[in-house]
């Protein structure tokens, strides 16, 4: 009897459920006992997942081999999961505007500020690399930038229910993808001067993809985020909020593409160039901060 192998979408849905379960657990622990005690609990959570999630551990190891340019040890796998758990834990405090708890360095925001002053709105394209919550928090609390996040509707609904328990205002910054009016909502926010962010390293199982060189191997990246960026005709920045350990984060902005003057005939070429540029910058930051990439499934698998 043949056994049906899990698909990319199966792995991604499984991970989203795990992410939500961890978030709910950490909300309770952190709001009950505080950040210091919460961080102690993270060691137990990370050890549990390293020991009892063999598939995620295997895919973490496969990725770390490439990012570290060496054999990944058990300690590397633990550090990978611990970094993931730390960013989820810190999300609780960032959503409650507890910026005083963190040391956040911002690199490259001058270019974003310049674009924001010249044009209404810009797009930020990131990855499951570090913490996007640092960006939203810094935007609300320190730089005066308005930031909205686009994500798939099912994930948005699940995460909103948890975020509202932390801070009822947090869910107002999320635009659900996959709806007829998603593009219109994004356009309206951009016209209001928002920075609209989306993550472009993971799609749904039936999304169209384009193979790009990533960490020295071809990997499928979803086409949708870049197609949407081209249709919205805005400047696009790569962004990531790297977790550096303890309470330290480093937020990076880099110009990625500018579709504001791209013609319809040039669009496909411009999209493919932007996608490879994105994969190149993602490769750079995965080497720079290898324990920050939180995709615990077989990212390079071929259908």
**pLDDT over 60 (residue 231):** yes
**pLDDT over 50 (residue 188):** yes
Residue 300 covered by a domain:
no
Residue 111 covered by a domain:
yes
Residue 201 DSSP symbol: S
Residue 297 covered by a domain:
no
**Distance of alpha carbon 282 from alpha carbon 125, whole angstroms:** 11
**pLDDT over 70 (residue 115):** yes
Check residue 177 and give its pLDDT.
Answer: 79
Cα 24-29-31 angle, rounded to 5 deg: 95
Structural domain total, the chain: 1
Residue 298 covered by a domain:
no
Check residue 38 and give its pLDDT.
Answer: 82
Cα 233-187-196 angle, rounded to 5 deg: 85
Write out the residue range of the structural domain in which residue 184 sits: 8-292
Average the pLDDT over 221-234 and give the result.
93
Residue 223 covered by a domain:
yes
**pLDDT over 50 (residue 12):** no
Residue 3 covered by a domain:
no
Residues 6+ apart with CB under 8 A from 129: 201, 240, 242, 282, 285, 286, 289, 292, 293, 294
**Distance of alpha carbon 203 from alpha carbon 8, whole angstroms:** 9
Residue 274 covered by a domain:
yes
Residue 2 covered by a domain:
no
Check residue 139 and give its pLDDT.
Answer: 67
**pLDDT over 50 (residue 3):** no
Average the pLDDT over 158-176 and give the result.
67
pLDDT band at 216 (very low <50, low <70, confident <90, very high): very high
């Amino acid at each position: 009897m043949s056994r049906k192998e899990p698909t990319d979408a199966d792995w991604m849905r499984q991970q989203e459920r795990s992410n939500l379960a961890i978030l709910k657990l950490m909300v309770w622990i952190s709001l009950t006992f505080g950040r210091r005690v919460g961080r102690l609990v993270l060691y137990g959570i990370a050890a549990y997942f390293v020991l009892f999630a063999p598939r995620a551990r295997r895919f973490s190891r496969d990725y770390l081999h490439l990012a570290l340019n060496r054999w990944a040890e058990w300690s590397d796998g633990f550090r990978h999961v611990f970094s993931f758990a730390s960013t989820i834990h810190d999300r609780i405090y960032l959503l409650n505007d507890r910026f005083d708890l963190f040391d956040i360095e911002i690199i490259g925001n001058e270019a974003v500020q310049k674009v924001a002053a010249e044009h209404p709105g810009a797009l930020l394209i990131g990855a499951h690399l570090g913490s996007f919550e640092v960006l939203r928090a810094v935007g609300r609390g320190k730089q005066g930038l308005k930031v909205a996040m686009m994500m798939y509707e099912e994930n948005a609904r699940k995460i909103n229910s948890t975020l509202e328990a932390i801070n009822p205002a947090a869910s107002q910054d999320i635009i659900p993808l996959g709806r007829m009016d998603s593009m219109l909502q994004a356009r309206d926010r951009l016209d209001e001067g928002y920075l609209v962010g989306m993550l472009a390293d993971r799609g749904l199982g039936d999304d169209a993809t384009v193979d790009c060189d990533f960490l020295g191997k071809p990997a499928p990246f979803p086409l949708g985020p870049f197609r949407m960026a081209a249709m919205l005709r805005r400047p696009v920045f790569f962004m990531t909020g790297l977790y550096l350990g303890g309470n330290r984060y480093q937020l990076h902005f880099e110009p990625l593409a500018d579709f504001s003057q791209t013609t319809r005939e040039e669009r496909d070429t411009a999209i493919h160039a932007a996608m490879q540029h994105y994969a190149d910058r993602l490769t750079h930051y995965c080497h720079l901060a290898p324990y920050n990439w939180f995709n615990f499934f077989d990212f390079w698998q071929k259908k």
